[in-house]
Amino acid sequence: NAGVTQTPKFRILKIGQSMTLQCTQDMNHNYMYWYRQDPGMGLKLIYYSVGAGITDKGEVPNGYNVSRSTTEDFPLRLELAAPSQTSVYFCASSYAGNPGETQYFGPGTRLLVL
Amino acid sequence: AQKVTQAQTEISVVEKEDVTLDCVYETRDTTYYLFWYKQPPSGELVFLIRRNSFDEQNEISGRYSWNFQKSTSSFNFTITASQVVDSAVYFCALSEVTGGTSYGKLTFGQGTILTVHP
């Protein structure tokens, strides 16, 4: 049981390039989330999904896209990378999305846009 | 809108000192949950504790204790006899039920960097 896995661990992008951050969970969780953590700041929600085929915006969705074709995977797409997207990205999951439910976080992807 | 404030940006203590991390939250809902997460230097997020808005009973777990006070909208975290391994960033987070629904979305505070010196 690997929990929540993310790839890559670290990536450098040039301005305007695109990339997909991968997130996979093997806990059969219905809810999945993408957060970003800027230096010295707390995490902010980018997008979330309540199940396969259903996604919705969080607090800071601009510049990102997501899809959820399977229960296990929740990739985050950056179409035109900008320096403001330099951050650490965390994927998380929970079974039922209840407010008191523990979210399990992946190890994070560190992204640097130059 | 909900908000979580951790006014202490950085705290530095010497090993064996007690340290309290402050967390103040804002929410309009009567039903909500508060969390503490730890982020060690390795970067992962580790769940520490959860408390719901109806349970103001304080909790002690080993060297950790939590003080939840609805009257002051605070959920403070105390480490007793701190150790070097406690050095990390600590985040307070809030999950609320809005309009009868919740998707488990978390609102995080800015985090407090705790450094414990030997």
For residue B91, the chain A residues in CB contact (below 8 A) are 42-43
Q: What angle do CA B31, B74, B79 make, to 5 degrees?
A: 120
The count of CB pairs under 8 A between chains A and B is 69
The secondary structure of chain B as a DSSP string is --EEE---SEEEEETT--EEE--EEE-S-SSEEEEEEEE-TT---EEEEEEETT----EEETTEEEEEEGGGTEEEEEESS--GGG-EEEEEEEEE-BTTB-----EE---EEEEEE-
A42 to B102: CB separation less than 8 angstroms, yes or no: no
What is the predicted pLDDT for the residue at A48?
95
Give per-residue pLDDT as tens, A40-92. Answer: 889 999 999 999 999 999 999 999 999 999 999 999 999 899 999 999 999 99
Q: Which of B117, B118, B112 shows the shortest CA–CA distance to B20?
A: B112
What is the predicted pLDDT for the residue at B99?
63
A44 to B108: CB separation less than 8 angstroms, yes or no: yes
pLDDT range class, residue A27, cuts 50, 70, 90: very high
Nearest to B52 among A41, A90, A100 (CB): A100
Q: What are the structure tokens assigned to A98, written together?
A: 């209840």
Q: Which of A67, A65, A113, A108 shows the shortest CA–CA distance to B39?
A: A108
pLDDT range class, residue A1, cuts 50, 70, 90: confident
What is the predicted pLDDT for the residue at A100?
82
Task: Work out the minimum CA distance from B83 to partner chain A, whole angstroms.
Answer: 23
**What's CA A21's distance to the chain center, in Å?**
7
CA torsion, points A114, A8, B45, A71, in degrees to nearest 10? 130
A8: cis peptide before it, omega within 30°? yes
Q: Which of B35, B66, B68 shows the shortest CA–CA distance to A103?
A: B35
Give per-residue pLDDT as tens, B53-104. Answer: 888 777 888 999 999 999 999 999 999 999 999 999 999 999 977 666 678 8
Task: Work out the minimum CA distance from A98 to partner chain B, whole angstroms.
Answer: 5
For residue A96, the chain B residues in CB contact (below 8 A) are 104
Cβ atoms A22, A6 nearer than 8 A: yes
Give per-residue pLDDT as tens, B17-59. Answer: 999 999 999 998 888 899 999 999 999 999 998 888 888 777 8
B110 to A40: CB separation less than 8 angstroms, yes or no: yes
Rounded Cα distance between A40 and B113, Å, is 9
Cβ atoms A2, A29 nearer than 8 A: no
Rounded Cα distance between A72 and A32, Å, is 9
B33 to A100: CB separation less than 8 angstroms, yes or no: yes
For residue B104, the chain A residues in CB contact (below 8 A) are 31, 33, 94, 96-99, 101, 103
